[in-house]
Amino acid sequence: MAKKENYKYEFAGLPIYDIIGKPLIAIARAQNMMSKEQLRTMLDACFKYHNGAYEPIMLKMVVTRSFLEPATKPGKGPELKMISTDFFLPMITIFPINALGIENVDIDFNVEITSQYMVDKDEIDEGGDKISAQPSSLECLGKITKGPGASGEDQEQSYENNSSFRIAVEAGTMPLTKGLLEIINIYTNAIQPIDTSQKNHQTL
């Protein structure tokens, strides 16, 4: 029977920029996923994919108004008549589409600096000669420790066993993208009355 060994090693820590950057990258990815999902929802509901292009689903609308027809025969007054006009609206201009996005992010953690070292940034050619000398920079490795509430002996204990990383994300509605607003604007401006006596136009 193989002897089980308990490997216990001291975790040296991660570069500080990794500790700070990773949650921000995760949030950016989450935002990206949300945007993709919303775009797909919009395309599925309001557009038809046809011959390699998305065509908006158009909705036939009717506008009705009354008008006074002048008297045609002497002795009779003007006659109130109704007139109906058809027009088409893209479905996307009717649904209240809101862009959901991450509005506020609150990241809270304590970092214990475990080690520091200087990084030499001198560029050296193949022969070993210095090409350029640049100032060295200080790099730090750190570990996330328990939250700011810990103190004294408890805190020391927490360094070994616990780490705490609190991220509060608030999502909210964002302004629609310029492209989507432009699509809606183009179709809104293209609303034109259609003569219903011409039956050759396509209707839904």
Window of 7-15, 53-61, 136-144, 157-165 that interacts with other proteins by CB under 8 A: 53-61
Q: Enumerate residues 6+ apart whose C-beta is below 8 A from 52.
A: none
How far apart, in whole angstroms, are the C-alpha atoms of residue 75 and residue 16?
94
Which residue, 60 or 166, has its beta carbon nearer to other proteins? 60
Q: Does 176 bind other proteins (CB under 8 A)?
A: no
Q: Does 41 bind other proteins (CB under 8 A)?
A: yes
Which of 86, 99, 164, 176 lies at the binding interface for other proteins (CB under 8 A)? Answer: 86
Least distance in Å: CB of 29 to other proteins?
15
Query: Kind and range of the H or E element at 32?
Result: helix 16-46
Window of 87-95, 101-109, 110-118, 155-163 that interacts with other proteins by CB under 8 A: 87-95
Least distance in Å: CB of 60 to other proteins?
4
Which residue, 27 or 59, has its beta carbon nearer to other proteins? 59
How far apart, in whole angstroms, are the C-alpha atoms of residue 112 and residue 13?
9
Query: Kind and range of the H or E element at 22?
Result: helix 16-46
Q: Which amino acid is at 70?
A: P
Q: Enumerate residues 6+ apart whose C-beta is below 8 A from 80.
A: 66, 67, 68, 69
Q: Enumerate residues 6+ apart whose C-beta is below 8 A from 141.
A: 12, 13, 14, 15, 16, 113, 114, 115, 116, 117
Window of 107-115, 124-132, 161-169, 189-197 that interacts with other proteins by CB under 8 A: 189-197
Least distance in Å: CB of 24 to other proteins?
22
CA atoms within 13 A on the CB side of 19: 22
Q: Which residues bind other proteins (CB under 8 A)?
A: 37-38, 40-41, 44-46, 57, 59-66, 85-87, 89, 91, 93-96, 98, 173, 188, 191-193, 203-204
